[in-house]
Each structure stands twice: as C-alpha cells, then as structure tokens.
Chain A
Amino acid sequence: MLGGLAQSNACACASESSLISLNGVSKIYHTDAGRFVALDNVNLQIQRGEFVAIVGKSGSGKTTLINLITGIDRPTKGEVCVDQVAVHRLKESEKALWRGVTIGVVFQFFQLLPTLTVIENVMLPMCLCNLYSGSERLERAYQLLRLVQMEHQAHKLPSFLSGGEQQRVAIARALANDPPIVATDEPTGNLDSRTAASIMELFEDLVRNGKTLLMVTHDPDLAARAQRTIALADGRIIQA
C-alpha cells in the first residue's frame, strides 16, 4: 500500500540525493487577526543521516517547518518531498500511514497514550501500520525499550513514569517502525538538564546508527550538538 502511495505521489522536484527536500514552500495562516506568514518561500535540502537542529525565536516558523516535513500541516505553496514522496499531495489518512513508517515523531509533552502500558504504546505504531507479526512486534518493542533503557518499566502505565522516562518511551515509540527520519519538537523542553542530556545522547546514538534526525529547539547548547543548524527568522531561513 505504501509502495503505491510512493509511486502515485512520486516527487518530481526532489533531488536524487536528498532525503528531505522543500521547494519554494510558504505557509500562510488566515486568522481573525489577519494574514500571518509563518514560512516564506523556503528552499531546503536535508541528506540522509544528518542531525539537523532547527533554531529560531518564538514565532520564527520552526514548528511550522517541522510540521510541514512530518505532514502534520500542509503548505500553502510549494512542494515538500520526503524520501521521494510528495507529502503535500497526500490525503490526511494516507499521510498518517506514510508518517507511521517514514517519520517517528517525538513531542515536547511526550504524548503517550495514558491507557496503554509502556510496551503497548511502543507496539501501537506497528499495529496501526500493520508491520511485523504479532510475536515480532512484542520482541521488537522490548528491543526498543532496551535501547532506551526502559525495558524494566514495560508493563507500567505512563502516569507511573517520570518525564524523562516518558520521553524515552516516546523515542522508542518513534522508532517502532524503523523509520529513516526522527522528527522532534523541543524534546527536552519539559525535562531537567540531566535527563535532557541523556536524551540527547540517545539521539546521537540514533544518528550514529544511520537515522536522520530533525530537532526543533531554542536551546543553543543543544543545537550545538547537531551536525547542522538551520536558523529561521520571520519565516525565512537565515542560516542553512
């Protein structure tokens, strides 16, 4: 099914080597307060295996940028191509499936489902995208939890975990379907500095293992740990 999606929505604009490619992308919000340009004619290429930090002041357009890449939002103008798929052309339901296998999303507030245990939260994306067999899912979920050092908490509900632990589980969940890209918006924004450091180590491990990591942050120290920094101001890229 995903193969079909990729074929019917193949990206004409994308350069062969880039994993993520934005071409003339603008995002304009029409609110009661008037027209607001969140992104203005952005062009961007991200290569496979890069660790990219997206920085900028509040309202500069960094969350909008990552939302467009993950398909959470739709551009007003321009093309967003990820792994040869024109994301902007996908329907909401198609995008969900595509995202499930292509991008693991890690939110600032972890967003684990409170009624599912840790292991069930990690297994959820595999079930939703119908990947792996029943026993493989369980095995893989444990493996991912081991990776984030959370296997001993596998059968607890999220409310019994600390913020850092929840974020580790969220990362494990993001990796469930082995996506090439992990996108994260202020992943340590809600954590103390020690926990934040351990999460960053985890991200670095992921990149070492070939994942492409996009991280929105306003913390210059965190951004410094990335290989590349994209700075935004007033919806435009001022450093790429």
Chain B
Amino acid sequence: MNIDARWIKVWRDLWSNKTRSLLVVLSIAVGVGAVGMIYNASQLIQRDLYGQFRQGNPAHVYLYLSPFPKEVANVVRGMREIRDAQVRRVVRAEIGKSGGGFVNLNLHVLPSTSEVEVGRFFVEQGAFPPKVREILLERQSARLLGYRIGDSVPIKLADGREYSLRFSGIVHDLNEIPFAILGDATAYVSVDTLRWMGELPAYNRLELVLELQGERVSKETALEAAEEVKKRVLEPSGFRLYSVRVPGVGSEPGDHWAHNQIRGFILILQIMSVMATLLSGGLIVNTISSILVQQTKQIGILRAIGASRKQIVSMYLLCVLIFAAAGLALAIPLGWAGSWWLASFAARFLNFDLTQVSLSFEVILIQAGIAILMPLGVAIFPILRGARISVYEAIYQHGLSRGRVSRLEQLLSRIRLADPPLLLSIRNTFRRKARLVFTLSTLTLAGAMFIASFSTHSSLVAQIHDAERYVAFDARLPLPQGTSKIAAEREALRVEGVSYAEGWAISEGVIVRSDSSESQGIEIVGLPANSKTIRPKLVSGRWLSGDPNSRQVVVNEDLLVEEPEIRVGEPLRVKVGNRTHTFVVVGVVSKHIFGPRIYMDYTSLSRLTGRQNEVDEIRVLAEEGKLSSVTVQDSLAEKLEERFRNAGISRANAITRSHFLGEFAGVFNIILLILLIMAGLLAIVGGLGLSGALGINIMERMREIGVLRAVGAANRALVKIILAESLVVSLVSWVMGAITSAVSSPVLAAVVVYAVLETQMNFRYSVVGLFLWFGVILMIGALSSLLPARRAASLQVREVLEYE
C-alpha cells in the first residue's frame, strides 16, 4: 500500500506521544459523551415516561365536588367540549407499613362496572377491580411499604376506623406523584369495598379530558370548560363544586405532573454538557499549539522541501480529525451507557418503565457534529498561525532566546522566596499565558459549577428553613372530623410536656377574580392572630390585626405567583362553598413551598365556612417560643396521638416538624447529586486539561529538567516542582472559580429552583461548597501532576540535554 508520506508523518507524530494523544481523546470523549448522555437520556425519558403517560389518557382538569353518583359523568360526557369524563373517589386515609407505623394514603375508588377511561393505570399483577376486602397497591408504594401479594394491609380512615384488606394486586399508575417523592402511598379498592367500609358509594372527583382545539389545551380553556360543566350540569343538579385543579405541579393540562420540572432540569444538564465539550476545546488548543511549537523546525524543513502552507495546514487538521474521530468513537458508547444510567435513575425515581435503551441517530449526529466541528473550530487558529512561519524563522531563529521578558514575568521575578524550587514552580506556571488561560478557564468553570451546585442545594435548603417559619410547631395533629376548638386545645394541654396548644381551622376555597372567574382551589387557614406556631416573614404590608370584624387576610408569595393581580390594600373576594366574602389584603408573607395559602382570623373563617367554633388541626409546643429537639417532637407526637385517640377525638397520626421538613430535603439531595455529577464531569475535563498542559510544559522544558538534574535535583525534588506548579494553577483557578461562582451560583440556583419548584427564591451562597471545591481542586491538582511528574522523573539527563 502506498500511503502519502505526509499522512504517515501525522500518524507517527500522534503515535509517538501516546499519553498526550490519549489525554486529548479522553477529553473530547468526556465532553461529547456527556452531551450524548444528556440528549439520549432526555429522549428516552420523553419516549417512555411521556409515551406511557399519554397512553393512560390523562385528565386535563379535576373537579372536586360534594358526593355525587357516577351518572354525572355520562351527562358531562355529552357536552361538546368534553371528550371524556370519569368519576373517582379519592379518600385521604392512612396505610400501615409492613414494619409498623402509618403513612398517608390516597385511596382511589373507581366504579367497578365500567372501564377506567381517564387517567388509566396498568395492572401489573392481580385484576381490576379488586374483590371486596381486597386492595391493589401502586407498585412503588407496595415496594416501599414492604408488602407481598396476599399480605394483610391495615388501612385507617380519617375518623379512625381501621380495616384490614388483602393485598391482591399491583398497579402501575403514572398519574400519581410517586411515593418516593411525596411520601403519600396510593392504593385502589372497589366500590363494594368502600361500601363494606361503611362509606357511601359516591364519588368526589370528576376528571375531564377536553376535546382538543389545536395541539394543546391551555389552562384557561381547562378552567373555562370546568366552569361550563359547573353551570350546565353541576349547579342544576345541586352538586357543590369545591375546587378546580389542573393536575400536576404547575403543569399545563394533559402534561405529566412533573413535565416542567423535567424539562427545566434537562435544559440545565444540556447546558452543562455543552460547557464540558467547550472546555475540552481548551485542551485541544493547548495540545495542537504545543505540537506546532515543537515541530516548528520540521515545519520549516517541510516548507524548504516544497510543502505549501495549505499542505501543512491539512496535515495538522488531519491530526485534529484523528483526535476527534477517536474521541467520538469513545464518546458514543460512553454517552449511551451514561444515558442508560441517567434514564434508569429517572425511571426509578419517577416510577416509569424504561423499555429499550436505544441510541438515536439524531443523538449520534449531534455528538459527531460537536466532536468534529468543535476541535476543528478551535484548532484552526493555532494551525494557521503555525503554518505561516517562514523557512528561515523556523530553522534559524526558532529556539533562540526572545531577549524580551514579559511584564508579568518581570513582576513575578520580584517575588522573593527563600526556596528557588518553589519560585520555579510559581514562575513556570505563568510562562505560557495562552495555555494557562485555557487550563484556568476550564478549572474555573468546573469550580464555578461545583460551587453553584452546592449553592443551589443551600438555597433549596434555605428555602425549607424559610418555610419552617410556617411550621413552627413541635407536633401537629389533624382532626379530620373537626372538633370544638376549646375541647381540642384543652385536651392537647393535658398531654404531658405540652405547654402551648392552638387550633387551626382549615378550609379550601377559591378567589373570585374581578371578571367573576374563579381561581384553582386554595388552602385557607383560620388561626389566632397572635398565633405562636407560625412566625410570618412579611414581604409587604402587615400581619392580621386580631380584630375578628376587620375582614383582613394575609396571603403568601406562592399565591401571588398564581394570582399576580393581588395587591396589598386592595379587596379580595374569597369563596368557600356557596358563600363569598370580601376581605382586604393587609399583607404578603414569604414563600411556603407547600403551596398557596390565605391566612385570616379564625372567626372570619368560621363565618365564611359556617362552622362555628370548630378546628381541623391542633398544633402544640413543648415550650412556648422555642422549638424542641427531634426526640422531644417525636415523643410529643406519640403522646398527642394517644390522648386524642383515647378521648375519641381523632385517630389520625401526628406529624412532627422535623418529619415534615425532612421529606423535602430528601428530594433536594437527589437534585444535588445530579448537579454534582455534571460538575464532576466538568472537573474531569478540567483535570485532563491540567494534566495535558503540565505534560506539554514538561516536554517544552525538557532541557531545563536536564539542567535541574545536572545541578542535583533528585526524583523527589522534580516531583515537588511539578506538583507545586500544578497546585499553583489549581489554587489560582480556585480563587477565580470562587469569584465566578458569585455569578454562576445565583443563576443556577434560580434556574433550578424555577424548574423544580416553579418559584423564585432567596439565594444562599454555599461556603461549604467553596471549601469542598478547595479540597477537590487540590486533589485534581495532585492527581493531574502524577503522570507528568513520573514522566519527568523517568527522563535520562543525557537524553533531555540533547532534546530538541
């Protein structure tokens, strides 16, 4: 085979420096692999999660009504705007865990006779509808609660009645927020079982699928359709509409409940993966530049024997192409494996099935585009510059001292230290400024993202802490049947260790807007104005005055996101059931995370609901004005439960403050983990870049290493000099990363928080992240210097002194 000698030279040059070539290839592979991982995982998630979700014919809107018969659905189905309607009863109850203790349960009851048409689920084991006294569990609930088919499952209704049902089958339901996320279990029983449990065979939720006009159904259309149903069917039939809700967490009608969060999260990961690829560009520029510097004489010889500039450029472009192709060849399987991991992780977390871990042609195309265009794009400049050199310059001038020293070098020469080897490291660091800039920017960005990931987590946690103001109790006990305020508070104060108790009335209502349209359902709290289990942080206006006749309300910022027209000092029409009262908004309190809320005086709410002197929840403190330890909270909760059970008031489970907040923290840790993995990929690219730059530095300074050897540098001294140089770069990048993180952290935190919680939040910078990165960057610095230092130590003095 007759191969052009030029191409043989290109190949030999690459092969003769395998370590350097490998670093470049790995760096491209990591960046492009990350792009493939994110894009492919995003496609897999969209295909499987959204595909399986759509197959279930998800509802566009839920209507929560007073008990109604299933026939209502038939009438609603006849309406022009409605494609499908279905009735469902969702009973709030509790379910026993196999290992003891109870957790919240949403018990779904669907008509036994008809097929489930809206929000379909898939029966994985057993049959639907279950027989009388049997229960089907959602698969994640079944797994996490620790039940096996045939087990007996204890169910506790809100009024405290307990039943034991046989676990007869497993259901996979994508419409419900998974147990792992919300901590609420999901189960299904038949109407007959409901009847057997002494409940009326009636329903409380009407689920609607609207006729599509265009591609999607907007929130407005969904709420309008619900309004039509109310006017034309519900009101004439005498059913009361409590609230209207679009399913999901801020999702659009028909979308998966976490659609916005997933989209936001994938976007962030995509940005980070593209960033990793761009950073690997730094290493390519460094490597190509150093090859060119090293081969200047050869370029001169090539030109002297007749090579045109174009030919020389094409030789080095081919070299870059080989790097790119090898990087791509590695990146494709890496990206595929990564996407498998990420999609499997998402599947476990979001409770969907990953059907097939395919790799789409589109993703390969994106990877190939980036893998080839990016290196060529960044390397073309040093190549063009290198090929411009004249024969004379290349052969006779190259390698001669510049005679001039840069201002920075002069400045650095003024540093006085007693340790010349250390000075050597410091000054060497700044010799190749362009190379240093690329290496530093890679590490700086990695650091900025690392710190930003931690700051995002800190901000999320800070948001929880902020929300703690609204759960400033030691324990809270729901009173599902409603109880006399005086009786409940008196009973709570009799519990040993309780020094303060207050009853809250809680209701659900809607806001009637100026155009008479109604909002989605909103939680309304009636509490004593001088409540001690809430420490409101006022964003504007003031807190409730305590005058029961003043008709004041305070809303939270979460409500302002949904109803931006609300203003302090302006009237607000609130409707509960059939009653509408007008209040004045006197203040806005900070975000709660757990949703929109309206606070009003206990008496005002009683008037609005017509339930005089009743409370729905009792909140207690062991010591007034102080929050107790987790142990005290747990013990209070236990005693509170027992007292109210014995008194026949409530058989519900008490919730402690720490338990309530702990559930949020778990989800946020997963977010931190994924962000850190991406920041880690950036750090790997940065580390490869640093190692590559050090390697190149050493190659360029072989003669100096020879001199060092000649004047007495043993292996340890050489390793120390190179390690110190690496650490100097790492430290400088840490400082720059810290500065950059002041910008990157609030941006990432805001984007993630908006994606996850659909809200803006208070930013909190993570000092822990800053110092953790300090440790990580020192480790990266140390590891990156290993290979170059070993190489330097293995050099023979004679070889390096002869080196050119």
Contact = CB atoms under 8 A, between A and B. Distances in A.
Nearest to B428: A115
Interface string B694-729: 000000000110111111111111000000000000
B420 A120 contact: yes
B421 interface: yes
Contacts of A155: 413
B284 to A, nearest CB: 26
Q: Which of A112, A124, A125, A155 has the most CB of B within 10 A?
A: A124
A114 B188 CA distance: 79
Interface stretch (B554-562, B761-769, B794-802): B794-802
Contacts of A73: 797-798
B403 to A, nearest CB: 6
Contact of B712 (A100, A117, A137, A138): A100
B405 A123 contact: no
Nearest to B401: A159
A73 B717 CA distance: 20
Q: What are the 5 closest A-B residue pairs judged by CB atoms, nearest first?
A: A100-B712, A115-B427, A93-B715, A120-B420, A125-B711
Contacts of A107: 707, 710, 801
B607 to A, nearest CB: 83
A113 B410 contact: no
Given A92-B709, A104-B711, 16 more contacts: A93-B715, A93-B716, A111-B704, A111-B707, A113-B707, A117-B413, A120-B424, A123-B420, A125-B712, A127-B420, A128-B421, A128-B714, A134-B418, A157-B405, A157-B409, A159-B405
Interface in A64-82: 67, 70-73
Contacts of A95: 797
Nearest to A110: B707
B405 A129 contact: no
Given A72-B797, A116-B424, A159-B405, A96 B712 contact: yes
20 contacts: A67-B798, A73-B797, A73-B798, A95-B797, A96-B713, A96-B717, A107-B801, A111-B703, A111-B706, A112-B707, A115-B431, A116-B423, A117-B413, A124-B421, A125-B712, A129-B712, A159-B404, A173-B711, A176-B711, A177-B712
A199 interface: no
A128 B707 contact: no
Interface of B: 401-405, 409-410, 412-413, 418-421, 423-424, 427-428, 431, 703-704, 706-717, 793-794, 796-798, 801
B91 to A, nearest CB: 77
Nearest to A133: B418
B663 to A, nearest CB: 57
B417 to A, nearest CB: 9
Contacts of A94: 714
A21 interface: no
Interface string A46-68: 00000000000000000000010
A221 B801 CA distance: 27
A37 interface: no
A129 B796 CA distance: 19
A157 B401 contact: no
**Interface residue tally of chain A, by bracket?**
35 or more
A101 interface: yes
B419 A99 contact: no
A72 B405 contact: no
Contacts of B428: 115
Contacts of B717: 96, 128
Contacts of A117: 413
Nearest to A93: B715
Nearest to B721: A128
B121 to A, nearest CB: 70
A175 to B, nearest CB: 11
Interface string A126-151: 01110000100110000000000000
A101 B712 contact: yes
A96 B708 CA distance: 8
Contacts of B412: 115
Contact of B704 (A113, A128, A129): A113
Contact of A121 (B420, B703, B706): B420
A183 B413 CA distance: 29
Contacts of A121: 420
B337 to A, nearest CB: 42
A196 interface: no
A105 interface: yes
A97 B405 CA distance: 31
Nearest to B421: A127
A229 B794 CA distance: 35
Interface string A191-211: 000000000000000000000
A36 interface: no
Q: Which of B707, B715, B716, B801 has the most CB of A within 10 A?
A: B707
A116 B710 contact: no
Nearest to B427: A115
B662 to A, nearest CB: 55
B711 A128 contact: yes
A88 to B, nearest CB: 14
Nearest to A156: B413
Contacts of B410: 157
Interface in A148-174: 155, 157, 159-160, 173-174
Contacts of B405: 157, 159-160
Contacts of B403: 159
A93 B790 CA distance: 12
A97 B798 CA distance: 16
